[in-house]
Amino acid sequence: MMTIKTSNLGFPRLGRKREWKKTIESYWSNKINADELNQQLTDLHKENLLLQKNYNLDSIPVGDFSLYDHILDTSLLFNIIPERFQGREVNNDLLFDIARGNKEHVASALIKWFNTNYHYIVPEWDHAEPKLNHNVLLERFNYAQSLNVNAHPVIVGPITFVQLSKGGNQTFEEKVETLLPLYKEVLQSLADAGAEYIQIDEPVLVTDTSEDFEDITRHAYDYFAQAGLGEKLVIQTYFERVNLKFLNSLPVKGLGLDFVHDNGYNLSQIEAGDLAKDKVLYAGIIDGRNVWAADIEAKQSLIEKLQNYTTELVIQPSSSLLHVPVSLDDETLDESIAEGLSFATEKLDELDALRRLFNDNDFAKFDELKARYERFQNQSFKNLEYDFDSVRSSRKSPFAERRKEQDAQLNLPDLPTTTIGSFPQSQEVRKQRAAWKNNRITDAEYNDFLESEIARWIKIQEDIGLDVLVHGEFERNDMVEFFGEKLQGFLVTKFGWVQSYGSRAVKPPIIYGDVKWNEPLTVKETLYAQGLTDKPVKGMLTGPVTILNWSFERVDLPREEVQNQIALAINEEVLALEDAGIKIIQVDEPALREGLPLRSEYHADYLNKAVHSFKLATSSVADATQIHTHMCYSQFGQIIHAIYDLDADVISIETSRSHGDLIQDFEDITYDLGIGLGVYDIHSPRIPTEEEITTAIDRALQQIDRSLFWVNPDCGLKTRKEDEVREALTVLVNSVDKLRKTKSTTV
């Protein structure tokens, strides 16, 4: 029997207790100096390497560790520096300034890394002068070797790097061409330093558009092969299937494929004979993006299959482990649940179990993991019964009729004004929450604090003159974690952090069992706020699609089923709010767009299911109850029909950064439901002028019926300062007042 090897693609940077974040933020706030920063990060890098070494991997990645983002590292390596930051020494300070902006210049854009919640810094080519800067990758590789770690360098490949970048007047091909000699030099330096292979990440090769890049991809890898580097290169892909015939034709040592998120297509291409026997297969068999223990027996049979088609097999996670928390060791979880989980180190242990099984005929660890897996699958928290058909998935009456009842009940003015839900999570709010979590104040004291904050903000909103008020979401840490803490079937970890961008990490809840609503989650605060004012207060909930997208989802059930379970729970909450007399309920779906599958052939199915879940959550209310939703991104083009199908009475959306584009999207469709346009950018501390707001509204009104139109900021205000919020909302309300007057004089 041939032996198998094990490897990894990338490891979480954060450290077990988010040491990475603490170090970097201490540097930003001048608590440590540049030397201390370097020292502490080197220590953490070492710890990450040695931690991985415990699992007997044949090779450990280097180049995944970074001060901020690995794409930004690559931009610096090749001197792709945004024009406004050019002329400075290339060092960590420059790196942080590009990532975060400084007093003079705005930061580079952050964009979601494929369909994950990780964000990379977009390389900017305008007037860039590509050349090779200090070779940090080589330095880190040498460092790993000095620790006696069997390492392989990781670098993002030229096709993916260029595809993810923007600006410059060169063509795609010209940019790649410019980079090739620089790549060659770096790859050569790594080969000279003793790298057995180099993992060159080309995830764009799994996307719809990969066909457009085939010629230039071939050209790039031919170029490397001519330099004698082909035998060192492994083209690594993840998150979807590849065109294996094409990849197989490239002159490289090996191919890295995802066998978890490929809908079975990578395996079927291999079975069809599309992989040459002499290519080393780097098989991503352990899910790198989720936290579930592997079905280890299924992995065993996958390996057995793959062995028939290659002479050299390396097993590894399906993607970098950047997308999962570090280790279960620090959690204090109920053992019956912990048994079903697997974070980064546990995933490496699964690989080790398989390696021992195949290479040494050692069943011990394999059998143990198998038993754990089976016990977890047979748990009682996984067998609730649902009757999805008994819950309405369309409103009782069409919008035109609902609208009459809502208008009669709400009696709102022309161009009603509102906000998106949250008000500043001030230091005081965070301090009180922490005190309550650590039992330093009682439930009653915390509740008193929340009520005083709600009351203060109801008064502020009334004074400013907004029409539909909100309670402010002070009781919530995060719009998904909050529901995760309260709904049955969800688990919230202590240290389950995952990097989102830069030093920001999120702690996605884990959906481990069937989801159930047991008691009202938001009614108390909403009712308290409503009791203080005659104006309507909006109930504020997170929708099923967003809750699912921002959680670790179950994989033992179809995604749609879990999403519908959440929808039923949210429906209960919607009804509880309605029962309590709340007349407007907003169900936020900011993550609906990001869950869109990478390949367009799956879009319709995803969107249909998303729309259905949203409607399950929101359709049971009376006609007179007004359902709002909110989304905050501007590329609506692909999903505009799905948004319309949600049949929400009012949608509020982010537009302030791209008015033109959005209005365009709305030209393609007769959008005859209520719509609130985000008239100013809440991501900036800048206070908008009346003129800007008026212009934005005027422009939109050329496209959208005035009687359907609402005015609001473009997202929640939790990250803003109190003064900024007061001022900006005052400007907003004043602008609308003037527009109302001009209307009444012209009519």
Residues in contact with ligand GLN by CB under 6 A are 420-422, 473, 479, 540, 588, 590, 630, 632, 715-716, 718
Bridge partners, residue 201, by sequence: 156, 236
Length of the chain: 747
Q: Which is nearer to Zn ion, 149 or 729 (CB)?
A: 729
683 has catalytic annotation: yes
The entry of ligand GLN, Zn ion, none near residue 693 (CB within 5 to 8 angstroms by kind) is none
What's the min distance (Å) between Cβ of 418 and ligand GLN? 11
**Segment 703-722, which members bind Zn ion (CB under 5 A)?**
715
479 binds, among ligand GLN, Zn ion, none (CB under 5 to 8 A by kind): ligand GLN
Nearer to Zn ion, 111 or 624 (CB): 111
The maximal CA–CA distance of the chain, rounded, in angstroms, is 88
What does DSSP assign to residue 683?
Answer: T
Q: Which does 424 bind (CB under 5 to 8 A by kind): Zn ion, ligand GLN, none?
A: none
Q: Give the span between the Cα atoms of 724 and 299, in whole angstroms.
A: 54
540 binds, among Zn ion, ligand GLN, none (CB under 5 to 8 A by kind): ligand GLN
Cβ contact 143:63 at 8 Å: no
**What six digits make up the tokens of 345?**
């180190």
Give the residue with the Cβ less far from Zn ion, 586 or 618. 586
Binding site: residue ranges? 18-21, 112, 117, 420-422, 473, 550, 588, 594, 630, 632, 641, 645, 654, 715
Specify the residue, 203 or 472, whose C-beta has the smaller distance to ligand GLN.
Answer: 472
Min dist. Cβ of residue 713 to Zn ion (A): 9
**Residue 493 or 546 with smaller CB distance to ligand GLN:** 546
- CB nearer to ligand GLN: give 588 or 623: 588
Residue span binding Zn ion (CB under 5 A) among the ranges 411-419, 431-439, 543-551, 626-634: 626-634
Q: Between β-strands 510-516 and 488-491, what pairing exists: parallel, antiparallel or unpaired?
A: antiparallel
Residue 421 contact partner, candidates Zn ion, ligand GLN, none, CB within 5 to 8 A by sort of partner: ligand GLN
Q: Minimum Å distance from CB 686 to Zn ion? A: 18
CB of 648 to ligand GLN, least distance (A): 14
Query: Long-range pairs for 370-377 at CB < 8 Å and ≥24 separation?
Result: 370/296, 370/297, 372/293, 372/339, 372/340, 373/293, 373/294, 373/295, 373/296, 373/297, 373/339, 373/340, 375/336, 375/339, 376/293, 376/336, 376/337, 376/339, 376/340, 377/340, 377/556
Measured between alpha carbons, how far is 508 from 549 in angstroms, rounded to an integer?
9
Q: Check: CB of residue 274 under 8 Å from CB of residue 301.
A: no
Q: Are 582 and 537 in contact (CB under 8 A)?
A: yes
The CB-of-633 to ligand GLN minimum distance in angstroms stands at: 9
543 is a contact residue toward Zn ion (CB under 5 A): no
3-state SS assignment for residue 91 = coil
Catalytic pick among 219, 603, 659, 683:
683
State the burial class of residue 161 (Cβ atoms within 10 Å of its Cβ: 0-12, 13-18, 19+).
Answer: buried
Per CB under 5 A, the segment of 1-9, 11-19, 203-211, 587-595 that binds Zn ion is 587-595
Residue 571 binding target from Zn ion, ligand GLN, none, CB below 5 to 8 Å by type: none
Rounded distance between C-alpha atoms, residue 557 and residue 548, angstroms: 13
Q: Where are the alpha helices (DSSP H) in 151-213?
A: 158-163, 172-192
- Regarding 632 and contact with Zn ion (CB under 5 A), the answer is yes
How many chain residues interact with Zn ion (CB under 5 A)? 3
Residues with catalytic annotation?
Answer: 683
Q: Which residues bind Zn ion (CB under 5 A)?
A: 590, 632, 715
